[in-house]
Chain A
Amino acid sequence: MKKIFSIIILVMLSMSVIKAQESSTIGFTPSSYYTFSWNTTFPIGDLNKWVDQPGPAGFDFGGRYIIKNGLTAGFNIAWQRVSKIYDAQTYTIPDKGVAITARNYRFTWMVPFQAVIAYHLRPDRLISPYLGLGIGGDYMEHHLMIQEYDIYETYWDFSLTPEIGILAKFGQFSSWGALLAFNYKWTTNRIKIYETTSSDLQMLNLKVGIVLTIR
């Protein structure tokens, strides 16, 4: 009971700190932001059929420049990888009577490069939520490794990424802050390796990182 009470007090205290920070202003509207974040990818759609495991290997670098009020334009460049080892996968070629069973090492690494438009709801506050949309391209390499063989294909294609996030500055006089963002990426990229033909590659990304605010 004592424990529950302590937790409730702690949560209430944290809430009041967040609320206080939300209402605090930083006294200026930033001219630009630069973000660097660790990126975890959750494959969905056909990408999930290829690798059905989240990929914590990834990072993202972005820059945004205020156009007017909370509206920003900028760029995003990232590196991401999803991978999984599949034991005893069997491929068949029925008309030739062929079957192959082997351990598969599958991975896809990608380099998205996008132009970003975002609207920051309260750019002059310590905690500033935003909505964004990234439009650009993705370079993808899909690898299937069996024994000493590495079969791979590369593609350059279009991608679209709506994103929601929060920038939380460390203090009124600090240029630095934390970033927490979540996005959905749809791409026209595809996978065509052996029997795997995927044309609907989608993913969710969770970004945790730091932000540098420029006056």
Chain B
Amino acid sequence: MKTKLIFLIMGLGLMFTVSCTKYPPASDRLLEDLAIITQYDTKIDFNNYHTYSLPTSITKITDKDTTQVTGSTASAILDQIDKDMQSRGFLKVLATDKPDFGISVVYYQNTYVYTYSYNYWYYPYYDWYYPYYPVYYSSYTAGMLNIDLVDLLKIDPVSQKLYVRWNAYVRGLLTGDHTTLEISNSVHQAFVQTPQIKTTAN
């Protein structure tokens, strides 16, 4: 009888342990997952715009310097933007041909450093001692791709300001290991979730 009980308790314990799944920590979630955030100007009609121009490179801005994203990654991003803009009816032109939209593609990469320490409560004196040494530090690197659709038709005549009619952030991109397909899909998703970007003018 005792053996039966021990086996039952062990079985229950095992089932409970197996059932307790744990989520990956925040730093891993940031590395693995992509978040695509878009916002468009709800007051404009995209049918009034016909053409766009696309840069040939992507600017990379980090904590230290400004460089360029090159190679297959840059091609995957720019090609996908090009495909989606054309599928929405826009016509690609050179920057010198006075396009209606200028597309800006910038990649930001920042390293965030933070500190933390353990705090203690002492019984029976409920005093809080802060900070209690040692103080630990950790860091994580976050990357974000920013795509802007800049209105080149309506430039503020006084301030010469340009208006962004749509922007897309792909947060987490190029932070961890993402395939070219995942990069293309994330850029495509930015367009998918903004069906308002389309023109029948051409």
Contacts and interface: CB of A to CB of B under 8 A. Distances in A.
A147 B38 contact: no
Interface in A92-147: 92, 95-103, 105, 107, 145-147
A170 B1 contact: yes
Interface of B: 1, 4-5, 8-9, 12, 15-16, 18-21, 23, 26-27, 29-30, 33-42, 140, 142, 171-172, 189, 193-194, 196
A176 B5 contact: yes
Interface residues of A, number: 39
A57 B41 contact: no
A6 interface: no
Given A83-B23, A97-B40, A97-B196, 15 more contacts: A36-B12, A58-B19, A59-B16, A83-B21, A90-B193, A92-B193, A97-B41, A99-B194, A100-B38, A101-B35, A105-B23, A105-B29, A147-B29, A148-B142, A210-B12
Nearest to B166: A97
Contact of A209 (B12, B39, B142, B194): B12
Given A38-B12, A38-B15, A145-B29, A210 B39 contact: no
A174 B1 contact: yes
Contacts of A195: none
A70 interface: no
Given A57-B21, A148-B27, A148-B29, A98 B39 contact: yes
Contacts of B5: 170, 176, 210
Contacts of B41: 97
Contacts of B172: 147
A90 B37 CA distance: 9
Contacts of A40: 19
B1 A171 contact: yes
Contacts of B20: 57, 81
B32 to A, nearest CB: 8
A180 interface: no
A147 B140 CA distance: 12
B193 A148 contact: no
Given A101-B189, A101-B193, A96 B33 contact: no
Given A101-B35, A102-B35, A103-B33, A148 B140 contact: yes
A95 B42 contact: yes
A25 to B, nearest CB: 18
B42 A97 contact: yes
A62 B189 CA distance: 50
A208 interface: yes
A56 B18 CA distance: 9
A148 to B, nearest CB: 4
Contacts of A149: 26
A85 B144 CA distance: 23
B23 A57 contact: no
Nearest to B40: A97
Contacts of A148: 26-27, 29-30, 140, 142
Contacts of B38: 98-100
A102 B16 contact: no
Given A83-B21, A98-B37, A103-B33, A147 B1 contact: no
A57 B40 CA distance: 42
A88 interface: yes
Contacts of A58: 19
Contacts of A55: 19
25 contacts: A38-B12, A38-B16, A55-B19, A56-B18, A57-B20, A57-B21, A59-B16, A88-B189, A99-B37, A99-B194, A101-B189, A102-B33, A102-B34, A107-B23, A146-B35, A147-B29, A147-B171, A148-B140, A148-B142, A170-B1, A171-B1, A174-B1, A178-B8, A210-B9, A210-B12
